[in-house]
Every structure is written in C-alpha cells, then in structure tokens.
Amino acid sequence: MTVLLRHVHEPDQKDLDGYVRRGGYEALRRALRELSPEQVVELVDRSQLRGRGGAGFPTGRKWSFVPKHAPVKYLVVNADEGEPGTFKDRTLIEGDPHLLVEGIALAAYANGVRTAYVYLRREFYEGRRRLERAVAQAYEAGFLGEGILGTDFSLDVVVHPGAGAYIAGEETALLESLEGKRAMPRLKPPYFPAVMGLYNQPTVLNNVETLCCVPWIVREGPEWWIAQGPPQLYSVSGHVNRPQVVEAPLGTTARELIERAGGMRGGRKVKAFYPGGTSSRPLTAQHLDVPLRHEDLAKLGSMLGSSAVIVMDETTDMVRVIARVCEFYRDESCGKCTPCREGTVWVTQILERILHGRGRPEDLHLLDSLARNMTGTCFCPLGESVPPSLRAGLEDFRDEFEAYIRGAREPVEMPVRLRLGAPAPGG
Ligand SMILES: Cc1cc2nc3c(=O)[nH]c(=O)nc-3n(C[C@H](O)[C@H](O)[C@H](O)COP(=O)(O)O)c2cc1C
Ligand code: SF4
C-alpha cells in the first residue's frame, strides 16, 4: 500500500473536494486544535524524517534551529527539481497539489512563519497551473490566509517560477534568485538559512517531497510513519521497461526497484546505476542488492541524494556517460569558484579528447589528479559532483577508457557546446 503516491492518480485529487473527501486537511485541523507548534516539530523529529532534496538532513533538527522569537521568518519550498533523473516532486505537485499546500501550512505553523514561497521550476507549466489553483482553493476554504480555521494562525503562500538553472536548486543560490539576484551560492556561515536566509531573516527551506511527508506524520503519528518503511520516492529511469516514480520503503534495493519498473529493457543485464542522481557515485551490477539508504550508500562512497536511480544496461558506453555528465556540470557551473569553473571545463575537454580518439595514456592520471583537486575545494556541492563519476570511471570502468586510448574503440563525436576557459593541460 502506497502512502505518498496513494492518491496521485485519482482525477479529483487535484481539487479541494476530492482531497478533503480522502482525509485531506485533517492533519492541519488536528495540529491547530490540539498541538502547539513545538509539538508539531517534536512529531516530525520523532518520525526521523530526513530531507528529500539531496542532503538528507533531519527535518525536525533543521526546524529546531529556527529562532523561536524572531519577528519575521519565512518558509521556502524548493521545487526546482534540477538533479538529472529526478521527477518525483513534479509527480507530487501535479498529482496531489493540496498535499503540498497542507505540508506547507503545517511547516509554517510549526515554525511560526506567516509567509511561504514555492520556488518552482519554470518548465513545470502544468504543475504551476495546478498548484496555483490548489492555493486559490485553499484560500477560499480558509486553509490559507488570515485566521486559518478560526485560529490566530495566518499564512500567505506565493508560487514563484524560477529562471531555469540547476544551481538555483542549491538552497542559498535559490534564495539569491528569489531576492531577484543572480543564482550564486552564498558563503556559509553565516548564511545557514534557518538562521539567516531570505532577506537575511530566519528561513525554513525544504524540498517538496519532504513537506508532503508532514501531513501523514501529523495525521497518523511518527511510529506509524516509521512502520511504513518509512515511505520513500525513487525516480527510476534509464534502461528499464517502464521508467516511473516508485514508492518503496527506504532501503529498498536497486534490484527490487528495477523489477518494479518492469525489468530491464530487452532482457539485458545491468552494467551500472546511479543511486541518487548524477551527483552520486555510480555503482555496478555487484551493488544491486545494497539497500538504497543513506548509511549503506555512504559506505560505498556514494549517496542517496535525490533518490534518482538511473539504470544502464550492459551495452552502455561508460566513457560517454561520464563525459555527458561532466558536460552537464560544466554547463551548469555558476563560475563563482575556480576549481569548479575551470575543473569542469578541463575534465570535459580531456574526456572528449579520449572519445574523439586522441586520448593519451597519461590522460587517466590527469583525470585522477583533477578529481582530487576538485574534491573538498569547491565553494558548493555542484563542483564536488564531478569527482564521484570520474572516480567510478577510473576505478570500475578503466578498461573502457583504455580501449579508446589504444584505438580499440571507434571514436565518437560528443556534442561540444561551450568552449570556455583555458585549454586542457597537454592541449
Ligand atoms: C547544485 C545543487 C542543486 C540542488 N537542487 C535541488 C533541487 O532541485 N531540489 C531540492 O529540493 N534540493 C536541491 N538541492 C539541495 C538543497 O540545497 C537543499 O539541501 C534542500 O532543498 C533542503 O531541503 P530538504 O532538507 O527538505 O531536503 C540542491 C543542492 C545542490 C548543491
Ligand atoms: S562549485 Fe561551481 S556552482 Fe558551486 S559556487 Fe563554485 S562555480 Fe559555482
């Protein structure tokens, strides 16, 4: 039995009536009637909910950092969903927008917030339409606005479409963008959003899926939530028969997820898979039975990230995959810091050289050295997302790189879209 996806395919779930008929806004009613804001924070803390945006930070703990008596506080919802392979937030926004609105209202009540912004990926045209409609319906029914449900709790929700950059999903870059500036990460500390965020005020910043978990936790209790798995959304894509968002208990293996997504296309074998979007280290077929949860993946030098499982079959050219991933980070680098701005360009140039049949044996050493120089030196995690793929390439698929360098593989042309910065060392 699913929880987060339980009603996303019911046609009338997008409307207030359908949502309320299935128990919607009960959690908000209960919280406003029976629970203090501190008790809501405590429930979320006891549920062991961890953020679903990428970093996996415990949500209850994050909320406990927000200063209680600050006169102005904000809630910002990260609905940018830019991590390659991730499409779970879009599924929730389009299929169950009131669940998100209720999650926002509960988070705002818990943290003493009266203005919330949803920073929504601009390409989500349909999601925006449905979410704005849900917000309007919630105002009309008294679940948003002044004196919600006859209490002294008031909340305004603003849906704000972003301008379409991957870096705008990074929380401090998102805040810059929301303030009308260029999306570039802020220096931390002091800019931990809970303490100093939007317009320099304390700001609770959470992912869409994270907030969609909250109404269930408040309605059914943290013990129930934990007993359900806890429920986790995995975006399963790549060489599977039916790419889809799979809801499964946290810690489900890639083998089970592939099965749930209809098995491998053409009955082929798995060669590799990204367990948490392209920012995580890709794993190999020998890891198909590893539970996909934070601790187990950290032991393998990978991470759950946004839980986007991208599956690649035995025919996949891993050199091309890794070059394509590095191209993405090169194009999305905001350019603020040198290791990322220059490193992503160098790495991509070397990988393209190898693919074009002009690679040299020392290029592998050079790639290794660049991966080391980009680890722990970048200003934000975007630049740090390149080394995990490179490391996996050099350690687990080295023979494929060597085959190109030896001339044992047919050279391929990669799309070369941007040529910025200095040429790679050695031409
Ligand atoms: C480059 C980059 C892109 C990110 N993109 C997103 C995104 O699209 N959506 C998201 O929720 N979090 C994204 N994150 C993570 C956010 O910075 C932040 O950790 C998250 O929104 C916090 O919410 P949570 O605690 O509910 O997970 C990104 C992080 C980085 C470094
Ligand atoms: S790591 Fe990349 S995206 Fe992050 S601040 Fe540096 S240049 Fe910008």
pLDDT digits (tens, 9 = 90+) for 39-59: 999 999 999 999 999 999 999
Confidence of residue 192 (pLDDT cuts 50, 70, 90): confident
Confidence check: pLDDT of 165 > 70: yes
Sign of the CA dihedral with 295 first, then 300, 301, and 303 last: negative
Burial class (CB in 10 A: 0-12, 13-18, 19+), 301: middle
| Interaxial angle between packed helices 26-34 and 97-111, expressed in degrees from 0 to 180 and rounded to the nearest 10 | 10
Mean pLDDT of all residues belonging to the chain: 95
Task: At 288, list the tokens.
Answer: 């198909």
Shortest CA distance to 379 belongs to which of 201, 170, 199?
170
Q: Residue 92: nearest ligand to its CA? A: 1
Please tell me if the CB atom of residue 382 comes closer than 6 angstroms to any atom of ligand 1: yes
Confidence of residue 415 (pLDDT cuts 50, 70, 90): low
Mean pLDDT of 202-223: 98
CA distance 55 to 31: 28
Task: Please enumerate in sequence order all residues whose Cβ is within 8 A of that of 281, keeping only pairs 6 or more positions apart, or say none.
Answer: 300, 301, 302, 303, 388, 389, 391, 392
Please tell me if the CB atom of residue 171 comes closer than 6 angstroms to any atom of ligand 1: yes
| Interaxial angle between packed helices 97-111 and 208-220, expressed in degrees from 0 to 180 and rounded to the nearest 10 | 80
Radius of gyration (C-alpha) of the chain in whole angstroms:
22
- Identify which of 184, 187, 370, 379 to mutate to test ligand 2's pocket (most ligand atoms within 8 A of the CB): 379
Q: Give me ligand 2 centre to Cα 327, in Å.
A: 14
pLDDT for 422: 44
pLDDT digits (tens, 9 = 90+) for 310-367: 999 999 999 999 999 999 999 999 999 999 999 999 999 999 999 999 999 999 999 9
What domains are defined for the chain? 11-227 (3.40.50.11540), 231-313 (3.10.20.600), 318-406 (1.20.1440.230)
Burial class (CB in 10 A: 0-12, 13-18, 19+), 150: exposed
Residue 261 DSSP label:
T
- Residue 27 CB-half CA count within 13 A: 30
Mean pLDDT of 52-72: 95
Least confident of 12-21, 160-169, 251-260: 160-169
pLDDT for 349: 96
Task: At 166, list the tokens.
Answer: 């991957």
Q: Give me ligand 1 centre to Cα 171, in Å.
A: 6
Q: Give me ligand 1 centre to Cα 399, in Å.
A: 34
Confidence check: pLDDT of 413 > 80: no
pLDDT for 1: 84
Residue 149 DSSP label:
G
Task: At 48, list the tokens.
Answer: 């062991």
Q: Give me ligand 1 centre to Cα 426, in Å.
A: 36
Of all protein residues, the one whose alpha carbon is nearest to atom 8 of ligand 2 is 334
pLDDT for 188: 86
Residue 75 DSSP label:
E
Mean pLDDT of 290-309: 98
pLDDT for 418: 41
